[in-house]
Chains A and B, each alone.
Chain A
Amino acid sequence: MDWQIIQQSLPQFAKGFQETLWLSFVGIVGAMVVGLCCSLLQYFKVPVAKQLVSVYVELFRNTPLLIQLFSLYYAFPVMGLKMSAVTCGIIGLVFLGGAYMAEGFTGGFDGVSQTQIDSGKALGMSNWQLARYIVFPQGFSLSVPSLAANIIFLIKETSIFSVIAIPELTNTALDLIGLYYRSNEYLFVLVIAYAIILIPLSLLLTWLEKRVRYGTFGN
C-alpha cells in the first residue's frame, strides 16, 4: 500500500464523493415521493391507478438497476428519447427506489392493527379521518425500518452508475485503476469512502427508528 498514491488521489475521490452524495440524495427524495404516491393510490384503492402501480412495483423490484440504466441510456435514444447519463441515473434510481419505498409504505399501512381501525370506526370516523389520524401516523412509523433499509440500499446502488460513466465514487476508482494500474490503494480508498457515508448514516437511522417507534407506540 502506497500512502503517497492514496494522498494524491484524494481530491479526485472527494469529487466522486460529492457526486455520490448528491445523486443519492436526489434519488432517495424522489424515490420517497414516488413511493408515497404509489402507496397512497394503493391504500385508497383508486381504480386503474392501483393496478398500474402494482405492475410498476413488480417490474422494478424484480429487475436489476443495471439493465434499467442500460435501457434508459442506450436503448431509449434509438426510439428518439435521448438523455444525459446523470438524468438516466437519477430516473433509474428514483423509479427503482420508488418501487421499494412503495412496498415499504404499504407494508406499514397494512401493519396497523385492525383493532385500532375498529376503534376509530366505532367513534364514527370517516375513511379519510381513519387514514389521517390512525393509519398514516401509525403506518408511517411502522414503515421506518424498511424505509431506512431502502435508503442504505439506494446509496449502494449508485455504485452501478459507474457503468454509464457517471463520475461517482466507484467510477472514480475504476478510472484511476485504469490510468495508474494501482488497484489496492484505490479500492481501499473506495471502501473507506463508502464506510464514511454508510456507517454514521446507519447508526443515525437505527437511532431514528427507535425514537419514532417509541414516540408512536411507546416501546
Chain B
Amino acid sequence: MAERILEVKNLSKSYGDQQVLHDINFSLNKGEVMTMLGPSGIGKSTLLRCLNGLEDFQTGELVFEGQTIKPSAANWQQLRQKIGMVFQSYDLFPNMTVLQNITLAPIKVQKRSKQEAEAEARKLLKRVQLADYADAYPRELSGGQKQRIAIARALAMHPDLMLFDEVTASLDPEMVRSVLDLIKELSEQDHMTMIIVTHEMNFARQIADQVLFLDEGTILEQTAGKDFFTNPQTQRAKDFLASMDF
C-alpha cells in the first residue's frame, strides 16, 4: 500500500460572491505525479496556490503527511519548507547571485550551515547543468536557465512535494525541453511527488500517473494513468484534447 502524502477534501474557494473552486476532492501518493489539465483561466493555478497557502479557501480541508493542516500563517510557513513551488515567471531574486538565490532559504529559514548549503547548491547546479553559473546574476541567464535555477532553488529545501505552476508557459519553445527533461528526471530518478499544471500535452501524457481535468473550478475527470488521453469520459475533455492538437 503506497503512502498517502496529500489529501484534499471538499475544498471550495470564492472571491467575494464569485466561486472559483467547487468542492475539490483528490489524493496523492508518495512518488506520484499528478498533472492538472484544463482550459486557461482561474482554477488550476488557484487550486495549486491553495495547496501551499498562498491563497486561502473558505471550506474544506487539506491533509498533508497524515496531519490536517491548520491554516495559520505560522503553520503554512513551516509547511512550505516541505512543499516546494516553481512559478511561471521563475522569479529569481534579481539582486542575488544564482548561488545566493539557492542558498538563501536553506541558510536563513532552515538554519543550515553556509558551507553545507553552498556545497549542496553546487551539486544541484551541476545537476541542472548550470555549474558554471554559480556567481552569475539572474539578468545574465536565459529564461530556460532561470527556470532550471528556480527548480534547483526549490529542491535545495528538500521538499516532499513539488508544485509546478505552468513553468514552461513563458519560455521560448527551444528552452521548454530542458526544463521538462529536468522535471521528468526528478520523477524517474528521485521519485519526487509532484503536481504539475501545464499545457504541454505530450509531456503530461508521458509523465502523469494521475490526471485531474478541471473546468470552471470543478473536477470533471479524475483519471489514473494515461487513460485520460486515450479514453476521455466527458465531452468537455474530448473537446479540450481535440483543441490542444498535440
Contact = CB atoms under 8 A, between A and B. Distances in A.
Interface of A: 113, 115-116, 118-127, 129, 133-134, 137-138, 141, 215-219
Interface string B80-122: 1101110101011111000000001100111000000000000
A116 B93 contact: yes
A133 B84 CA distance: 19
Given A115-B89, A118-B87, A125-B105, A218 B78 contact: no
A125 B95 contact: no
Contacts of A127: 73
A141 to B, nearest CB: 7
A124 B153 CA distance: 12
Nearest to B105: A123
Which bracket fits the contact residues of B?
20 to 34
Contact of A118 (B54, B79, B83, B105): B54
Interface of B: 52-54, 73, 77-81, 83-85, 87, 89, 91-95, 104-105, 108-110, 137-140, 150, 153-154, 157
Contact of A119 (B73, B77, B83, B87): B87
Contacts of A115: 87, 89, 91
Contact of A122 (B54, B94, B104, B137): B54
A216 B108 contact: no
Contacts of B150: 119
B109 A124 contact: yes
A125 B87 contact: no
A218 B91 contact: no
Contacts of A121: 53-54, 77, 80
Contacts of B52: 122
A115 B93 CA distance: 10
A134 B95 CA distance: 9
Given A129-B109, A218-B139, A123 B104 contact: yes
Given A119-B87, A119-B150, 15 more contacts: A115-B91, A123-B105, A124-B79, A124-B110, A124-B157, A125-B105, A125-B108, A126-B77, A127-B73, A138-B94, A215-B95, A216-B95, A217-B94, A218-B139, A218-B140
Given A129-B108, A219-B139, A123 B95 contact: no
A115 B52 CA distance: 14
Nearest to B100: A133
Contacts of B54: 118, 121-122
A127 B73 CA distance: 9
A73 B110 CA distance: 55
